[in-house]
Structures are given as C-alpha cells and as structure tokens.
A and B are shown apart, each in its own frame.
Chain A
Amino acid sequence: AQTVTQSQPEMSVQEAETVTLSCTYDTSENNYYLFWYKQPPSRQMILVIRQEAYKQQNATENRFSVNFQKAAKSFSLKISDSQLGDTAMYFCAFTSYNNNDMRFGAGTRLTVKP
C-alpha cells in the first residue's frame, strides 16, 4: 500500500523568505501522480501543484516549485517570497496511475510571520 510521510508537523517562515516542506512516499509503482494541497483556516483544500512521475522536470507554479527525486521517493515543496496568505496546512498527496484513491500525508502547518 502507498504511504505518504510528512515529517514536519509545523514550520514558520518570515514574510518574503523561502521555505521548503518535505514529503516522502512509498510505492512499488512506476507511474503515479503527486500533489501538494493547501488548506487554509477556511478549510477548503486548494491545489498548489501537481507532478507526473514519468516527467523528470520539476513542476513550477509561480512562487511554488517542487524538488521531485523519484529514486529517493521524495517530493518537497519550495515556497519562494512567502506571503501572509500562504499561512495554511499543506498536504502532500499521492495517486496511482490507474485510480483516483488519493493518499495524504499528515500535513505541515505553515505560519508566515510578518
């Protein structure tokens, strides 16, 4: 079974600084998808970024980028120029290539300080 591990329960960063959130996963599959979602206090889960495992190029969305290391089964999220609105719970998630059963990590609570 696939598992997703986020080893940092809480992190904080100063506004405008850069922060990296860690995620590792375990799977025997070769093709799969990885995601980062954020959940602000308003509780709606919002997609941050998506990575296809068969693509070696790291995904980027504006200030958000990932470091995808397939052999190490690592998928970290880097947030550049942190903003107060980035304060949220961040979840790393995995889905297999052939189903939509999304497995989530325990989450990292990120606080951006002014």
Chain B
Amino acid sequence: KAGVTQTPRYLIKTRGQQVTLSCSPISGHRSVSWYQQTPGQGLQFLFEYFSETQRNKGNFPGRFSGRQFSNSRSEMNVSTLELGDSALYLCASSLGNGQPQHFGDGTRLSIL
C-alpha cells in the first residue's frame, strides 16, 4: 500500500506570495491532518479534515487554510507569506480518532 505522498518536496517563495501544498493520503484513510515543524516551535497542529470537513483547527492565523476533496486528497494554502512561515509542513493520514497517523515526507517551504 502506498504511503502518504506530499508534493512538492521543496518550495522557495518570497514574502507576500501565496503557496499551495498537496497531500495524498493512504488509500482508505479519510482523516488528513497538517502540521508545521520549525526548530523554534517544534511540531504544531494546523488543522484536520475528515470526509471533506474541517474538524479541528490549531492556533494559526486565517492566512493558513485547507481543503479536502472527495477522494480524501488534501491541499493546504498559505497566503501573504511571511518570513516566519519558513518551515517543514507535514501531512498525516489516519483511519480516524486515536488511530496512528501516518506521515508523509513533508514539504520544506523557504521564504526569502
């Protein structure tokens, strides 16, 4: 069974731009969660989608948004990029609450 796939692996943007990251979950997994990982703040929960609905949201500004499609693939969008948005963005899929989350390799976003 294929794992969680995130694209692209690397992305370089400038301040003020916007970016869209993509995540394809493991087949059969309906829950997709997004995390931001930085050296200073560690791993922080962004949001979770289940069956195309956002179920939970972390403490991030409205510039961070996401969506999930009927095939469970998910996208995350960040608008008006700031230098502090430079991070590794991880996507994880699972069967549901309490089940192990399986992570992708992440997208390394660098803001210049």
B-side contacts of A91, CB under 8 Å: 43
The verdict on B62 contacting chain A, using a C-beta distance below 8 Å, is no
- Within residues 20 to 50 of chain A, which ones have a CB less than 8 A from any CB in chain B? 33, 35, 37, 42-47, 50
The reply to whether B105 and A97 form a contact with Cβ atoms under 8 Å apart is no
Q: Which residue of A lies closest to B105 (CB)?
A: A44
Q: Which residue of B lies closest to A99 (CB)?
A: B56
A-side contacts of B102, CB under 8 Å: 47
- Within residues 82 to 106 of chain A, which ones have a CB less than 8 A from any CB in chain B? 91, 95-106
Smallest Cβ distance from B2 to chain A, in angstroms?
14
- Within residues 51 to 105 of chain A, which ones have a CB less than 8 A from any CB in chain B? 52, 91, 95-105
The reply to whether A35 and B48 form a contact with Cβ atoms under 8 Å apart is no
The reply to whether A101 and B48 form a contact with Cβ atoms under 8 Å apart is yes
B-side contacts of A96, CB under 8 Å: 97
Residues of B within 8 A of A (CB-CB), count:
25
Residue in B31, B42, B43, B56 whose Cβ sees the most chain A Cβ within 10 Å: B43
Chain A interface residue bracket vs B: 20 to 34
A-side contacts of B101, CB under 8 Å: 47, 100, 102
* Contact for B48 among A47, A100, A106, CB less than 8 A: A100
- Contact A52 B98, CB 8 Å, known A45-B103, A101-B58: yes
- Within residues 57 to 112 of chain B, which ones have a CB less than 8 A from any CB in chain A? 58, 88, 90, 92, 94, 96-98, 100-106
* Bound complex: CA A35 to CA B100 (Å): 8
The verdict on B33 contacting chain A, using a C-beta distance below 8 Å, is yes
* Bound complex: CA A52 to CA B106 (Å): 27
The reply to whether A107 and B42 form a contact with Cβ atoms under 8 Å apart is yes
- Contact A95 B43, CB 8 Å, known A47-B102, A101-B58, A102-B33: no
Give the A-binding residues of B (Cβ under 8 A): 31, 33, 35, 42-43, 45, 48, 50, 55-56, 58, 88, 90, 92, 94, 96-98, 100-106
